[in-house]
Amino acid sequence: MTRADALTNAPELLRVTLAGIRDAVITTDADGCVTFLNGVAETLTGWSPADAAGRSLADVFRIVDEASRVPVENPAPRAVATGAIVAAATPTVLVARDGSEHAIEHSVTPVRSDSGAVIAGVVVFRDVTAARDAARMLQESEAFSRSVFESSPDCVKILDPEGRLLDMNTNGLCLMEIDDLPALRGRAWDSLWPEDARARVLEALAAARREGRATFEAACPTAKGTRKWWSVAVAPVRNAQGELRNYVSVSRDMTERRAMTEALAANEERFRMLADNMSQFAFTADADGRISWYNQRWYDYTGTTLQQMRGWGWTSVLHPEHVDRVVAGLLRSQTTGEVWEDTFPLRGKDGEYRWYLSRAVQIRDEQGKLARWFGTNTDVTDQRESAEKLRVLAAELSEADRRKNEFLAMLAHEFRNPLAPIRNAVQIVRRADDDGERSRQASAIIERQIVHLVRLVDDLLDVSRVSRGTLDLRPERVEVAAIVRQAVETLTPAIEAARHRLTVTLPPAPVLLHADPVRLAQVLGNLLNNACKYSDPGASIALTVAVERGEVVVAVADTGIGIAAEMLPRIFDMFSQVDRSLERSQGGLGIGLTLVKRIVELHAGSVVVASAGIGQGSEFVVRLPVLVDGEDRAATEAPAAPAAPVSSAPLRILVVDDNRDAAESLAMLLDVVGNVTALAFDGEAAVAVAAEFRPDVLLLDIGLPGLNGYEVALAIRAQPWGGTIKLIALTGWGQDEDRHKSSAAGFDAHLVKPVDFDALQRLLAS
């Protein structure tokens, strides 16, 4: 082709070329009017070449700023005017003829003639909507990833394919106490860990590359040396082709949680140690009451295993009679929310049952829903037995108190009985004038009633000695018949007064005992007295003595009022009386039979009672061991006590008692029998009078105001003239310990009020 042909065909060649390229092209003349647009430009602008031809480029190529939406100045005139290529300064959007929009990149190139003048402009642009959207999405994705990277509360590291550190989030820097990240970039990840953890780190990287994810836990100090425990997860990051691009490591600070876990484990260990060594059984159960745990105490007691006890297996060791009640109570507490408490017997591995107080509280979750139970079982067997013993003891004490009150009432009654005739007799003496017979009768009354009072007091003292185990026996070789005769003689007046018929049956041969004759006479006297009191006038009383298998058997039977069956077990108890009715108000203090039983037992014997019931009479049987040896078994009665000798010379006697009537009346009696007396009414006066009176005998009360009797005795014994005086304690204190104390204080004798004047005279004569 010739040059001329080329020039002729150049416009067509340019048109074909522009139509074939993939970018949109619009040409303008020197005035900025459209002269041509290719197919791509026609599609994007929505203008056909025919419609666009001759129009201003600003009409066909209408562009706005992508961000501000402000129209962009038509670039063609500027390119023509400047002769330079004009490119978009900011992202622009092409607004098509139909209003649709396309993100574009564009530039305008001026076209020069041979002379160098700008004769046209070429606008080249392309649709970059997809590319710009992709870039925006990439930017947003990167921003999102960075946000996640920075917002994670954990330590996040980005590693290169070789495992070297590329980046770390801000929280990670804080957790690791790192101030200079650039200095760490490029370092191998395992080099950031202590020596004992590096192998584990490398294994995790290999496992992550191989399996897609790996985890481990290890301790690693921070940059400033703070020891922390980390839970680490590491995963590879690959591109679309599966090529390894990076690793992401996420390390969570587990220091506090691990400390809490260790503390919890330690607490649980301490709890289990405490629970296994506590005296109670402890247990936990789920919300439905099924057992999930017991402490070791439970298994030691029941001999069971947790597998046997799981669920409701614990009911197998609960006493069958209590199962339904206990389970119902537990289910009721589940519904009401109340603390469950119950007491029931549990079977031990030895098959024996013991009583337990069981208590369980509900443990609820954060929503207030019942989650589980915690409870204990406390052995209350001993407490229950103690409570039962206390109940029985309280009943016994109540009964004893009742009998004590009855006894006190009877005591007052019994003391008033002899006091009344004594008072009457005193009035008789006062008014008898010279009537000697009446005075003698009154004196006899007084003497009998005083004997009765003394017997009451003696009984009280005896029962006190027996109760305290201080009753002294003075055993000797004695014949049973002598004891029987002594008891019968003592009770004969009472028997005759009541017109009772007494029969005594003795064995044909003498029977010897090693016993205290006074105390055994007291036993038989009490039994005979008891038969008299509880038998109507004219009744029969039988005293029978027999020997059976090495024992002497003494039976006292009567046809009296009898004994009710419920009274038989208590007949020998203190203060017990069969009948307290007014017509039998002379029944004594209710301690006679108690003395009988205690004295007989002190002699290694026994006593029992039998009665067919009310109105059927009663029988008391005493059994005592017989004395068997090679000596003469013939009994001789003890000679009667010699009559009181009468002193041939009067004695100087000082009587000391703070009771003036007692002192003066005793002094009068002593004066009547020929003695010379002086009086003192307190301890200090006693010492003074003794120093002046110089008595032969001092009758001294113990309980004195000022100096007591013991102190007076010591003071007198300390005087040169006091060594020869006979000191006789005359007191209401008659226990053995009282006698020991008076002897230690220097007394020569100890008499108990009211004194037997004959015995006093015998003592004075000695």
Strands 476-479 and 101-112, sheet pairing: unpaired
Residue 11 dihedral angles phi and psi, to the nearest 5°: -60, -40
Please list the helix, strand and coil fractions of the chain in percent, rounded to the nearest 5, in that order: 45, 25, 30
Q: Identify whether residues 7 and 123 lie together within a single domain.
A: yes
- Alpha carbon distance 219, 489 (integer Å): 109
Mean pLDDT value across residues 708-723:
92
Last residue of a domain, one of 134, 160, 181: 134
Give the residue ranges of DSSP H helices in 237-347: 255-277, 296-302, 306-309, 323-336
Assess whether pLDDT exceeds 80 at residue 276: no
What tokens does 548 get?
Answer: 């059976």
Place 629 in a pLDDT band, splitting at 50, 70 and 90. Answer: low
Q: CB count, 10 Å around CB of 551?
A: 16
- Alpha carbon distance 700, 751 (integer Å): 10
**CA within 13 Å, CB half, 488:** 18
Give the residue ranges of DSSP H helices in 375-504: 381-431, 436-468, 480-497
Residue 69 forms part of a structural domain = yes
CA-closest candidate to residue 595, choices 464, 695, 703: 464
Last residue of a domain, one of 625, 642, 668: 625
CATH number for the domain including 664?
3.40.50.2300
Residue 439 forms part of a structural domain = no
Sign of CA dihedral 435, 436, 442, 445: negative
Q: Identify whether residues 481 and 621 lie together within a single domain.
A: yes
Place 461 in a pLDDT band, splitting at 50, 70 and 90. Answer: low
Contacts for 633 with CB less than 8 Å, ≥ 6 apart: 509, 510, 512
Q: Identify whether residues 478 and 611 lie together within a single domain.
A: yes
- Alpha carbon distance 729, 743 (integer Å): 9
Q: CB count, 10 Å around CB of 334?
A: 16
Beta strands in 559-651, from DSSP E residues, in sequence order? 606-610, 618-625
- Alpha carbon distance 297, 279 (integer Å): 7
Number of H helices, E strands in the chain: 22, 29
Strands 512-515 and 476-479, sheet pairing: antiparallel
Last residue of a domain, one of 228, 253, 278: 253
Residue 144 forms part of a structural domain = no
What's CA 145's distance to the chain center, in Å? Answer: 61
Torsion of Cα atoms, 416 then 418 then 423 then 424, to 10°: 120
- For 657, the domain range is 652-765
CA-closest candidate to residue 596, choices 613, 616, 576, 626: 576
CATH number for the domain including 515?
3.30.565.10
Residue 459 forms part of a structural domain = no
Residue 538 forms part of a structural domain = yes
Assess whether pLDDT exceeds 50 at residue 10: no
Strands 63-65 and 697-700, sheet pairing: unpaired
CA-closest candidate to residue 750, choices 706, 700, 714, 689: 700
∠ CA 604-609-610, nearest 5°, is 145
Specify the number of domains making up the chain. 5
Torsion of Cα atoms, 607 then 612 then 614 then 615, to 10°: -100
Contacts for 82 with CB less than 8 Å, ≥ 6 apart: 110
Place 402 in a pLDDT band, splitting at 50, 70 and 90. Answer: confident
Q: Identify whether residues 121 and 156 lie together within a single domain.
A: no
Assess whether pLDDT exceeds 60 at residue 526: yes
List pLDDT tens digits, range 20-72. 578 899 999 888 899 999 999 999 999 999 999 999 888 999 999 988 889 98
The whole-number pLDDT of residue 587 equals: 45
- Alpha carbon distance 592, 578 (integer Å): 12
Q: Identify whether residues 334 and 314 lie together within a single domain.
A: yes
End-to-end C-alpha distance for the chain, whole angstroms: 192
- Alpha carbon distance 417, 491 (integer Å): 19
28, with CB counted inside 10 A (0-12, 13-18, 19+), is buried
CA-closest candidate to residue 342, choices 321, 353, 362, 328: 328
Q: Identify whether residues 610 and 589 lie together within a single domain.
A: yes
Structural contact between residues 550 and 625, judged by C-beta atoms closer than 8 angstroms: yes
Residue 65 is which amino acid?
Answer: D
CA-closest candidate to residue 524, choices 563, 558, 554: 554
- Alpha carbon distance 358, 344 (integer Å): 8
Paired strand residues for 655: 679, 699
Assess whether pLDDT exceeds 90 at residue 512: yes
Q: Identify whether residues 238 and 331 lie together within a single domain.
A: no
Q: Identify whether residues 616 and 503 lie together within a single domain.
A: yes
Structural contact between residues 161 and 238, judged by C-beta atoms closer than 8 angstroms: no
List pLDDT tens digits, range 723-733. 899 999 988 77
Strands 476-479 and 63-65, sheet pairing: unpaired
CA-closest candidate to residue 70, choices 46, 91, 100: 91
Mean pLDDT value across residues 456-480:
72
Residue 411 forms part of a structural domain = no
What tokens does 393 get?
Answer: 């003891």
CA-closest candidate to residue 713, choices 746, 684, 740: 746
- Alpha carbon distance 20, 3 (integer Å): 24
What's CA 455's distance to the chain center, in Å? Answer: 56
Assess whether pLDDT exceeds 90 at residue 428: no
321 in helix, strand or coil?
A: helix
CATH number for the domain including 59?
3.30.450.20
CA-closest candidate to residue 574, choices 454, 463, 471, 459: 463
Place 159 in a pLDDT band, splitting at 50, 70 and 90. Answer: very high
- Computed on alpha carbons and rounded to an integer, the radius of gyration of the chain in Å comes to 65
> Is pTM beyond 0.85 here?
no
Residue 454 forms part of a structural domain = no
Whole-number average pLDDT of the chain: 83
Percent of the chain whose pLDDT exceeds 90: 35
Assess whether pLDDT exceeds 50 at residue 340: yes
Q: Which helix (H) or strand (E) holds 110?
A: strand 101-112
Q: CB count, 10 Å around CB of 252?
A: 17
Q: Which residue has the tokens 């295993």?
A: 305
What tokens does 533 get?
Answer: 């009191």
What tokens does 760 get?
Answer: 């006093």
Q: Identify whether residues 245 and 351 lie together within a single domain.
A: no
- Alpha carbon distance 322, 331 (integer Å): 14
The whole-number pLDDT of residue 470 equals: 61
Q: Identify whether residues 761 and 666 lie together within a single domain.
A: yes
Q: CB count, 10 Å around CB of 72?
A: 20
Place 699 in a pLDDT band, splitting at 50, 70 and 90. Answer: very high
- Alpha carbon distance 327, 302 (integer Å): 19
Residue 636 forms part of a structural domain = no
Torsion of Cα atoms, 59 then 64 then 69 then 71, to 10°: -60
List pLDDT tens digits, range 289-337. 788 888 888 888 999 998 888 888 889 999 999 999 998 988 888 888 8
Q: Identify whether residues 36 and 69 lie together within a single domain.
A: yes
Q: Identify whether residues 9 and 127 lie together within a single domain.
A: yes
Q: Which of 121-135, 259-273, 307-321, 674-688 has the lowest mean pLDDT?
A: 259-273
